[in-house]
Amino acid sequence: MPVEEFVAGWISGAVGLVLGHPFDTVKVRLQTQNTYRGIVDCVLKTYRHESLLGFFKGMSFPIASVALVNSVLFGVYSNTLMALTTTSHQERRAQPPSYTNIFIAGCTGGLLQAYCLAPFDLIKVRLQNQTEPRVQPGSHQPRYRGPVHCAASIFREEGPQGLFRGSWALVLRDTPTLGMYFVTYEGLCRQYTPEGQNPSSATVLVAGGFAGIASWITATPFDVIKSRMQMDGLKGRKYRGMLDCMASSFRQEGVGVFFRGMTLNSARAFPVNAVTFLSYEYLLRLWR
Ligand SMILES: C[N+](C)(C)CCCC[C@H](N)C(=O)O
């Protein structure tokens, strides 16, 4: 039943999310702050200054919203595929859909999830970039006290459209790359599974992991622009728009800027997406 796909998408996303958050925090900081020399430097400074908790900043909203975001991604993907091929999830092993249809369904899922993700991702990025240690009485207060305060402040200071800052870059980041995500996953599963059978757990883990890496590698240039657009507006506006952000980042920092965070994105992508697909497939088989 289509609704199961939504629920499976949610639970599997939450599991992956917690696992990958520390990588994500370091990545966001490297993409948007020029104070770190590299991954190790950023990890050490974060740990010394903010303790282990520093790596988990901004995680609560993503956990709450992953329900919506991942269920939209997997639910729209699967239901689009059903509309294109008239096969349900269970029938797809016996009648595999074409890669073109998988790509179209993945892009559709990606496009819609990007819109749901936009405000939550913005708040995550703003909180991850607060480098103040835990608030103690009398110490310097960070700008945002928590996710709700952050959302309310953005709404007040930058208007409702402020909550969607960077959403264009996010849509461009996620639409084609999520098409690729499902094509890679399906392709690898088919390659290592005898015809008509379900892929083994090991196959699902490896295919999910590589699907994550493939889509994150290609998504990184827009990921950098997205993070920068999201931080813009915090202290006045530096960029006139997405194209200006791309041009001025390139002018000031060279082409390398578009690959910032690629190592961390890939390192995070394998475990996160291996677990995401494994729990997704497992839950759907459980409910059949
Ligand atoms: C398309 N792009 C690679 C940007 C995102 C893929 C999202 C997959 C998973 N929720 C994760 O957080 O890794």
Q: Tell me whether residue 86 is exposed, middle or buried, using C-beta atoms within 10 angstroms of its C-beta: 0 to 12, 13 to 18, 19 or more.
A: exposed
- How far apart CA 28 and CA 23 sit, in angstroms, is 9
CA of 44 to the centre of ligand 1 (A): 26
Query: In 3D, which of 159, 145, 148 has the Cα closest to residue 120?
Result: 148
Query: How many helices and strands (H and E) does the chain possess?
Result: 9, 0
pTM, two decimals, is: 0.91
Q: Residue 88's pLDDT is what?
A: 81
For residue 234, list its beta bridge partners. 236
CA 42 to chain centre: 21
Q: Residue 135's pLDDT is what?
A: 65
- How far apart CA 236 and CA 14 sit, in angstroms, is 34
- How far apart CA 282 and CA 208 sit, in angstroms, is 13
- How far apart CA 154 and CA 139 sit, in angstroms, is 23
Q: Residue 137's pLDDT is what?
A: 67
Q: Is the CB of 55 inside a 6 Å radius of any atom of ligand 1?
A: no
Q: Is the CB of 272 inside a 6 Å radius of any atom of ligand 1?
A: yes
Q: Residue 1's pLDDT is what?
A: 47
What phi, psi does 123 have (nearest 5°)?
Answer: -65, -40
Are 266 and 225 in contact by the 8 Å Cβ rule? The answer is: no
Are 21 and 53 in contact by the 8 Å Cβ rule? The answer is: no
Please name the residue whose Cα sits nearest to atom 10 of ligand 1.
13
Q: Residue 206's pLDDT is what?
A: 97
Q: Is the CB of 216 inside a 6 Å radius of any atom of ligand 1?
A: yes
Looking from the CA of residue 110, the nearest atom of ligand 1 is 1
56 Cβ contact partners less than 8 Å away, ≥ 6 residues apart: 21, 22, 25
- How far apart CA 135 and CA 140 sit, in angstroms, is 7
- How far apart CA 164 and CA 240 sit, in angstroms, is 15
Each residue's pLDDT expressed in tens, for the chain with a length of 288 residues = 467 777 777 777 787 788 899 999 999 999 999 999 999 999 999 999 999 999 999 998 898 888 788 889 999 999 999 999 988 877 888 889 999 999 999 999 999 999 999 999 999 999 999 998 876 666 778 899 999 999 999 999 989 999 999 999 999 999 999 999 999 999 999 999 998 888 999 999 999 999 999 999 999 999 999 999 999 978 878 999 999 999 999 999 999 999 999 999 999 999 999 988 998 888 888 876
- The overall longest dimension of the chain from CA atoms, in Å, is 65
CA of 176 to the centre of ligand 1 (A): 12
Looking from the CA of residue 223, the nearest atom of ligand 1 is 4
Looking from the CA of residue 215, the nearest atom of ligand 1 is 3
